Amino acid sequence: MRVITATAVALALAALAGGGTSATATPTAYRQTVDGFWRMDGYGTVLAIRNGTFQEFQTTAVSCIEGDSARRTGPGTYTTPDGTVITVRTQGHRDHASMRADGSVGDRKLRRIGELPEACTRPGDGGPLAAFDVFWQSFEENYPFFSAKGIDWHAVREQYRPKVDAKTTEDELFDVFSDMVRPLHDAHVAVQHGDSVFAQVRPGTTVPTGELDTKVKKFIVERDLKDARNLQEFADGRITYADLPGGQGYLRISGFGGYAGEDTSYAAQLAELDKALDTALGKDRPRRLKGLIIDLRINGGGSDALGINIAGRLTDNPYAAYAKRARNDPADPTRHTRPQPAYVLPAHGPRYTGPIAVLTGGSTFSAGETFTQALMDRPGRTVRIGQPTQGVFSDVMVRELPNGMSAFLPNEEFLTSSGRTFDGTGIPPHLTEPVFTKEEFDRKKDSAFDRAVSVLRNHGGSGG
Nearest to 40 by CA among 139, 122, 117: 117
Tell me the pLDDT tens digit for each residue of 198-257. Answer: 999 999 999 999 999 999 999 999 999 999 999 999 999 999 999 999 999 999 999 999
Cα separation of 277 and 308, whole Å?
Answer: 13
Mean of pLDDT over the chain: 91
Confidence of residue 25 (pLDDT cuts 50, 70, 90): very low
**pLDDT tens, residue by residue, 339-377:** 999 999 999 999 999 999 999 999 999 999 999 999 999
pLDDT at residue number 3: 52
Per-residue confidence (pLDDT) for residue 4, from 0 to 100? 55
Beta pairing, strands 292-295 & 249-253: parallel
Q: Residue 16 — very low, low, confident or very high, per pLDDT cuts 50/70/90?
A: very low
Q: How confident is the model at residue 404 (pLDDT cuts 50, 70, 90)?
A: very high
pLDDT of residue 17: 32
Which of left, alpha, beta for 86 (phi over 0: left; psi -120 to 50: alpha)? beta
Is pTM beyond 0.85 here? yes
